[in-house]
Amino acid sequence: MPIGLPAELLVALRRARRVAALTGAGVSAESGVPTFRDAQTGLWSQYRPEALATPQAFQRDPKLVWEWYAWRRELVGRARPNPGHLALAEFERRLAQRGAVFTLITQNVDGLHAQAGSQNLIELHGNLQRTKCFDCGRPAETWAEDGSVPPRCPACGGRLRPDVVWFNEALPPEALTAAFEAAQACDVFLSVGTSGLVEPAASLPFEALRRGAVVAEVNPHETPLSAHATFVLVGPAGEVLPALVQALSRQ
């Protein structure tokens, strides 16, 4: 069944000089990446996310937290970008051809947008494939395989951790500033596959609305943004986004 795309949205996207998009776990669902809470299955079902994804949890049981992330890293390592990720990368290339700017802000830590070819990308919650030191904060790319779990920081001997933003942690300030600037400066804002429950990312579409941007939501389910968005495109990102990009290429 063809997806109904509002003509006014297509007009706004064709005219836009700046477009920003915010994505969440929903955009990776069709790549088989479980959302944060869905990932709590099998072996790990006895733990609440708050029990594993906080600095306090890491301090209490660093081995447990490291091993949980190692398991998630392996899951994500097998995933590939889906048509939704690819459509966003294609959209960026098309906007660039006519001198317009596209900023992609993601809450996902799976790295699939970069794999799909997105360039102007803000990873607000970090990246699962990167590692840093819990104690000194330096990034680490290699470390001694001496059986320590978590491994030791090559710079200070501290404990290594995934470079993601945990509950009770601040977002990287440059990424946060760049995300708010993009939301405030854009003509059109797309909110894709996010429940809009987690701040500060949840405020970005409202910031865009406040500045007069057209805001379109792509989600199979209603969210707190739905009643406020200029357009709501109900459906999976892997179908709606390719249809949108295809429609934009038709004159």
Residue whose CB is nearest to ligand APR in the complex, by number: 26
The catalytic site residues sit at: 125
Start-to-end Cα distance in the chain: 21
Binding mask 191-210 for ligand APR (x = CB under 6 A): --xxx-xx------------
Among the listed ranges 40-48, 94-102, 177-185, 230-238, the one in contact with ligand APR (CB under 6 A) is: 230-238
In the block, tokens 């049981």 appear at 61
CA nearest neighbour of 208 among 16, 24, 26: 16
Find residue 127's DSSP bridge partners: 163
The amino acid at residue 248 is L
Could you say whether residue 72 binds ligand APR (CB under 6 A)? no
Residue closer to ligand APR by CB (options 131, 194) is 194
Contact flag: residue 81 with ligand APR (CB under 6 A): no
Q: Does 26 bind ligand APR (CB under 6 A)?
A: yes
- The smaller minimum CB distance to ligand APR, of residues 57 and 100, is found at 57
Segment lying near ligand APR (by CB under 6 A), choices 12-20, 113-121, 204-212, 217-225: 217-225
Task: Name the H helices within the chain.
Answer: 7-15, 26-29, 49-52, 55-60, 62-77, 83-97, 112-116, 173-185, 204-210, 237-249
- 3-state secondary structure at position 158: coil
Site residues (vs ligand APR, CB under 6 A): 24-26, 29-30, 35-36, 107, 125, 193-195, 197-198, 218-221, 223, 236-238
